[in-house]
Amino acid sequence: MHLNTLLCLISASSVLSFPTKPQPIHLPLQFVKTKRLTKRDIVVPLIEDVDLSELAVKVQIGTPAQEFLLLFDTGSADTWIPSTECLPSNGCPAFLKHFDASASSTYQSLQDEFLITYGIGSADGHYFKDTMSFVANDQKTMTVNQQTLATVNNAVGPISDQNQDTDVDHIILDGILGAGLPGGTVRHLQGKGPQYDPFPISLYKAGLIPNPVFSISMNQDKGKLILGGIDTEGISKEFVYTNLANHSSPSRWSINVEGLQFRNHKAVDESRNFKFNQGTPFGVDTGSNFMYLPRALANDLAVSITSNGTFALNRDGVFTTDCQFLSSLDSVNIYFKSSIDNSNTNINIPVSQLISKRDSDGQCLFLFIPSDDKFILGNMILRQFVTVFDFGDIPRIGFAPSKFPPLLITGDE
């Protein structure tokens, strides 16, 4: 080979670029302080000043981009925003950002009807496809083309009930980003159309994130969402994983809980086990604040924690108790099957983090609520952990204790 030709080849090869593996995307999750409960929580007006938070993320939709602040919700799978047709009389206050479909050159209308019902609200409109993006940690815009979304023409519930003048921090949620699973999209569940990939899964399939996972952590003053990776820097122990309930064809981020245990730190023999007859599905839900337990279990757990029965179920369905338990050294274990070897494993929650003190009257409340039909691990539990949502070949959820869990606001602060 001629020397000049060889040198040219070497020179050309030195500037060749090879595709680089995508990196995990780090996004801040805003704590939206709220005096109302989230969309799956019961209406409890007497706890309006307990320290409740919703997790929100900024996204852009359409071309050119229209920006929205959305509730990041693992308890649902559909992302929706208000349409320009949704007026205050339809449940969309004027201060919400409304999506103008006519202004987006990439908007594609779909005829499929969108109708979703939450614990204390609902929304209806129509599906559409458009670009959906956000600004990643390196300031690079990450975009999914033709993401299936919904615009809402009518809404009832917490999004509608926001008040720009009185809401804490004056941060307004425009809609909901459903981070659930394809089988949980309501169009599919209602038999009105095929399932589709929610946004985090679309990111992975588009090659924008390296792994089929995302993790959520809640620190003292902010939250963190890592798409395609795990917050290993924020954990104090290793992760424990459990497969999703019905993991062969899951529709929700739910796990089978085998039972609970109250651990008395002074007298082990006074600890109590509450074992279910079979694994009971619990939703792992960032769209809810509280832990919802079967009614009998919730009552027995309150009895065990207080030992002398110093608690009561108020008319709003919430347990009140003596504030002395804010300093309790006891704890509660939640048991489930390990995805590694199917053995029993658990996560541990201090009793002190299952109680909050209300500012208005100094009353202390348990953060678990008796329920007849929904069993949930909400943000008041998840804030103690870094939580991994793995949508790989065998979908699973992982928990590891957080190094920096948020502290409860107790009213004495």
Q: What is the pLDDT of residues 339-393, one digit of tens each?
A: 999 999 999 999 999 998 887 788 899 999 999 989 999 988 999 999 999 999 9
- In the set 174, 197, 231, 285, the catalytic residue is 285
Across-strand partners of 56? 30, 71
**Burial class of residue 220 in the structure, from the number of CB atoms within 10 Å of its CB (0-12 exposed, 13-18 middle, 19+ buried):** exposed
Active site residue 73: yes
397 Cβ contact partners less than 8 Å away, ≥ 6 residues apart: 241, 242, 244, 253, 255, 284, 387, 388, 389, 390
d(CA 3, CA 28): 54
- In the set 41, 51, 73, 124, the catalytic residue is 73
* Predicted local confidence at residue 5, as pLDDT: 47
* Predicted local confidence at residue 88, as pLDDT: 94
Q: How many C-beta atoms lie closer than 10 Å to residue 161's C-beta? A: 14
* Predicted local confidence at residue 168, as pLDDT: 55
* pLDDT above 90 (res 245): yes
The CATH label, of 2.40.70.10, 3.30.310.220, 3.40.50.980, 3.30.300.10, for the domain at 25-209 is 2.40.70.10
* pLDDT above 50 (res 411): no
Q: pLDDT tens digits for 272-326?
A: 999 999 999 999 999 888 999 999 999 999 999 998 778 998 887 889 999 999 9
CA-based nearest residue to 375, from 325, 321, 336, 322: 336
**What mean pLDDT comes out for the span 34-51?**
42
Q: How many CA atoms lie less than 13 Å away from 247 in the CB half-sphere?
A: 17
Q: Do residues 365 and 252 lie in contact, with contact meaning Cβ atoms separated by under 8 Å?
A: no
Active site residue 138: no
d(CA 332, CA 263): 6
Q: Do residues 399 and 347 lie in contact, with contact meaning Cβ atoms separated by under 8 Å?
A: yes
Give the model's confidence band at 100: pLDDT under 50 very low, under 70 low, under 90 confident, else very high: very high
The model carries a pTM of 0.89
Residue with structure tokens 């620190």? 219
* pLDDT above 90 (res 114): yes
Greatest CA separation found in the chain?
Answer: 94
* Predicted local confidence at residue 359, as pLDDT: 75
Strands 80-82 and 141-156, bridge-based pairing: parallel
- Which residue intervals of the chain bear CATH 2.40.70.10? 25-209, 232-401
Residue with structure tokens 């899951």? 250
Across-strand partners of 133? 60, 143
From residue 107, alpha-carbon distances to 70, 130, 206 in Å are 19, 5, 19
287 Cβ contact partners less than 8 Å away, ≥ 6 residues apart: 38, 39, 40, 54, 71, 73, 74, 75, 76, 118, 176, 378
d(CA 106, CA 360): 50
Structure tokens at 8: 């040219």
CATH 3.30.460.20 assigned to domain 232-401? The reply is no
